[in-house]
Structure 1
């Protein structure tokens, strides 16, 4: 691993540890200022390390990586501040969780599976297959032999017709498993691709779920 990447990884770990330690003593505004200062210091340190790279291409990539880490740190700090405070009447700031009630019908997609569901053969396929088999059986043998061939052909044709109908009516089924609060898990089935992926936030809608 390059030296600047090692620095960025260690710097990010130290910044997270610092944020966790400071959260109990600093106000959201002061915490944002502290996080911004830490990110800026780390960014300047990473840029200095980039100068040690042996090629122009490597130095440019190093600076891009350092800037990406800096931008991510600043965005995370702002997100934490926004989540920690929310304006109420009179401009008083309170916890965002306290201001927003939990959604009991909301969850997160935990798994998406698709499988081939076998179709069901009905009387239509059996009748059609039986008639076709009987006609074919009538062409074989004569007398009693022809009657036996007709019966055998009808039986075989009915079975074949049933299997053909099962194949024609088979279809795919998507099963979406959703995790809810309090360790509740439910599964929902769709006859076409619902477009969900693991991690998507969803909410109940009737007997199904939709994206939040």
Structure 2
């Protein structure tokens, strides 16, 4: 009988350890499990005071049933508090997606006043070489205007740069295009996630 009593005590210790592990998952479940374990420990002491072995064993069995029921109720309550994804599916990551397309194009640079002035001066000098009198004046003005326009266009071409356009298909169905002024090293099918106003591989 003493051996059976010690076995029951070992079972109590194991159940208490299990409740402690579960405590890390849900604070309310942890509290309920600790209360059940404390109550079971008190019942165990009372069972030890029973006058005969048969009564002690029956007392321990009853105490164990009460403990198991308390832990089961706490577990059920914990499960009801856990968030359940809709339709049984994992929640969709709104910032996660895959690269759907990568294209390289040229972005025309912006002309500045320097290009306009330089072109205008060069055009005026060339126009000034044409004709004489009023004709020369008109040629100078026309050369300045044409040179300014040409200088602006030339500067735009000189400042033209490559850009990488990366189209991302998000897990939630949205699409978005990101523009890089350098090669981001991404390819079709790469998994990416938003990082600030850009994306990185995940």
TM-score category, normalised to shorter length = 0.5 to 0.7
Aligned match of 2:189:
199
Match of 1:173 among 163, 166, 175: 163
Number of residue equivalences = 117
What TM-score comes out, normalization by structure 1 length? 0.51
Quote the offset at 1:121 in angstroms.
2.2
Moved over 3 A (4+): 100-103
Rate the CA distance shift 1:104–1:182 in 2: closer, same or farther, 3 A.
Answer: closer
Contact 2:94/2:172 (CA < 8 Å) preserved in 1? no
Match of 1:140 among 130, 137, 140: 130
What TM-score comes out, normalization by structure 2 length? 0.53
Match of 1:151 among 141, 157, 165: 141
Quote the offset at 1:101 in angstroms.
6.4
Q: Deviations over 1:44-87 (max 9, x none)?
A: xxxxxxxxxxxxxxxxxxxxxxxxxxxxxxxxxxxxxxxxxxxx
CA distance in 2 between counterparts of 1:147 and 1:179 reads 60
Rate the CA distance shift 1:106–1:182 in 2: closer, same or farther, 3 A.
Answer: closer
202-211 vs 138-147, which deviates more?
Answer: 138-147
CA distance in 2 between counterparts of 1:109 and 1:129 reads 44
CA distance in 2 between counterparts of 1:110 and 1:144 reads 63
Contact 2:115/2:152 (CA < 8 Å) preserved in 1? yes
Contact 2:92/2:171 (CA < 8 Å) preserved in 1? no
Contact 2:93/2:172 (CA < 8 Å) preserved in 1? no
Quote the offset at 1:107 in angstroms.
1.1
Match of 1:107 among 67, 87, 97: 97
Unaligned runs of 5+ in 2: 1-20, 23-84
In the alignment, does 2:182 pair up with 1:188?
no
Quote the offset at 1:205 in angstroms.
0.5
Unaligned runs of 5+ in 1: 1-88, 91-96
Task: Work out which of the two has the higher radius of gyration on C-alpha atoms and give 1 or 2.
Answer: 2
